[in-house]
Structure 1
Amino acid sequence: MIFHLLLLMLLSDVGKSSASNITALEKQIFHYIDENQNKFVQVLKEWVAVESDSIQPKYRQNITQMIEIAKDKLQALGADVCIINLPIHQQQDDQNSALPPVILAELGKDENKPTVCFYGHLDVMPAKKADGWETDPYILTERNGNLYGRGATDDKGPVLAWIHAVEAFRLQNLKIPVNIKFVLEGMEEAGSTGLEDLIKNENERFFSNISYIVISDNTWLSKSTPALTYGSRGNACFAVTVEGGVKDLHSGAAGGIVHEPMSDLIALLDSLVDSSGHILIPGIYDDVSCIVEEQKKQYEPIAFNLTEYKADVGVTTLLYDTKEDILSHLWCYPSLSVHGIEGAFHEPGIKTVIPRKVIGKFSIRQVPDMNLTTVETQVKQHLRDVFAKRQSPNKLTVEMTLGAMPWFADSREPQYEAAKKAIKKVFQKDPDMIRDGSTIPIASMFEKITKKKVMMFPIGASDDGEHSQQEKISRYNYINGTKVFASFLLEISELHKD
Structure 2
Amino acid sequence: MSKFLSGELIKLGASVELRELGKQEGTDVDLPPIVLARYGSDPAKRNILVYGHYDVQPALVEDGWDTDPFTLTKIDDKLYGRGSTDDKGPVIGWINSIEAHQKAGIEFPVNLVMCFEGMEEYGSDGLDDLIKAEKDKFFKDVDATCICDNYWLGTTHPVLTYGIRGCSYYALTVSGPSADLHSGIFGGMVSEPLIDLTHVLAQLVSPQGKILIPGVMDLVAPLTAKEEKLYDDIKYTMQDLYDATGSKTNLFDNEKESLMARWRYPTLSIHGIEGAFSAPGAKTVIPAKVIGKFSLRTVPDITPRALDELVFKYINEVWEKLGSKNKMEIKLLHDGMWWLSSPTHWNFEAAKKATKAVWNVEPDLTREGGSIPVTLTFEEELQKNVLLLPMGRGDDGAHSINEKLDMSNYINGVKTLSAYLHYVAVEPATA
Q: Is the shorter-chain TM-score for this pair beyond 0.5, marking a shared fold?
A: yes
Name the stretch that deviates more: 282-291 or 71-80: 71-80
Query: Which protein is bigger by CA-based radius of gyration?
Result: 1
- Which one of the candidate residues 68, 81, 92 is aligned to 2:16? 81
The answer to whether 1:151 aligns with 2:83 is yes
What TM-score do you get using the length of structure 2 for normalisation? 0.94
Count of aligned pairs between the two proteins: 430
* RMSD over equivalenced CA pairs, Å: 1.9
Please report how far the alpha carbon of residue 466 of structure 1 lies from its aligned counterpart in structure 2 after TM superposition.
1.7
Deviation per CA, 1:382-403, whole angstroms, max 9, x where unpaired?
Answer: 0111111222222221111111
The answer to whether 1:424 aligns with 2:356 is yes
Name the stretch that deviates more: 178-187 or 121-130: 121-130
Please report how far the alpha carbon of residue 497 of structure 1 lies from its aligned counterpart in structure 2 after TM superposition.
7.5
Deviation per CA, 1:446-493, whole angstroms, max 9, x where unpaired?
Answer: 223322221110010112112222122111111111111111111112
* Percentage of identical aligned residues: 43
Aligned residue in 1 for 2:58: 126
Assess if the C-alpha contact under 8 Å between 2:172 and 2:291 holds in 1: yes
Could you tell me how far apart the structure 2 residues matched to 1:74 and 1:350 are?
53
The answer to whether 1:67 aligns with 2:67 is no
Aligned residue in 1 for 2:369: 437
Could you tell me how far apart the structure 1 residues matched to 2:252 and 2:317 are?
31
Please report how far the alpha carbon of residue 257 of structure 1 lies from its aligned counterpart in structure 2 after TM superposition.
4.0
Structure 2: any 5+ residue segments left out of the alignment?
A: none
The answer to whether 1:169 aligns with 2:94 is no
Could you tell me how far apart the structure 2 residues matched to 1:129 and 1:389 are?
44
Please report how far the alpha carbon of residue 196 of structure 1 lies from its aligned counterpart in structure 2 after TM superposition.
1.9
Please report how far the alpha carbon of residue 277 of structure 1 lies from its aligned counterpart in structure 2 after TM superposition.
0.8
What TM-score do you get using the length of structure 1 for normalisation? 0.82
Could you tell me how far apart the structure 2 residues matched to 1:274 and 1:234 are?
21
Change in CA separation of 1:72 and 1:249 when aligned onto 2, cut-off 3 Å: closer
Residues 297-316 of structure 1 aligned to structure 2 (within 5 Å): 297-316=229-248
Task: State the secondary structure of the residue aligned to 1:340.
Answer: strand
Change in CA separation of 1:248 and 1:164 when aligned onto 2, cut-off 3 Å: closer
Assess if the C-alpha contact under 8 Å between 2:69 and 2:81 holds in 1: yes
Aligned residue in 1 for 2:334: 402
Could you tell me how far apart the structure 2 residues matched to 1:326 and 1:477 are?
25
Please report how far the alpha carbon of residue 263 of structure 1 lies from its aligned counterpart in structure 2 after TM superposition.
2.4
Please report how far the alpha carbon of residue 264 of structure 1 lies from its aligned counterpart in structure 2 after TM superposition.
1.9
Residues 68-467 of structure 1 aligned to structure 2 (within 5 Å): 68-90=3-25, 94=27, 96-467=28-399
Higher helix share: 1
Change in CA separation of 1:433 and 1:356 when aligned onto 2, cut-off 3 Å: same
Assess if the C-alpha contact under 8 Å between 2:142 and 2:382 holds in 1: no
Task: State the secondary structure of the residue aligned to 1:89.
Answer: coil
Name the stretch that deviates more: 180-189 or 73-82: 73-82
Could you tell me how far apart the structure 2 residues matched to 1:329 and 1:456 are?
20
Aligned residue in 2 for 1:488: 420
Task: State the secondary structure of the residue aligned to 1:153.
Answer: coil
Assess if the C-alpha contact under 8 Å between 1:114 and 1:496 holds in 2: no
Please report how far the alpha carbon of residue 126 of structure 1 lies from its aligned counterpart in structure 2 after TM superposition.
2.7
Task: State the secondary structure of the residue aligned to 2:130.
Answer: helix
Could you tell me how far apart the structure 2 residues matched to 1:302 and 1:466 are?
22
Aligned residue in 2 for 1:29: none
Change in CA separation of 1:172 and 1:350 when aligned onto 2, cut-off 3 Å: closer
**Aligned partner letter, 1:178:** V
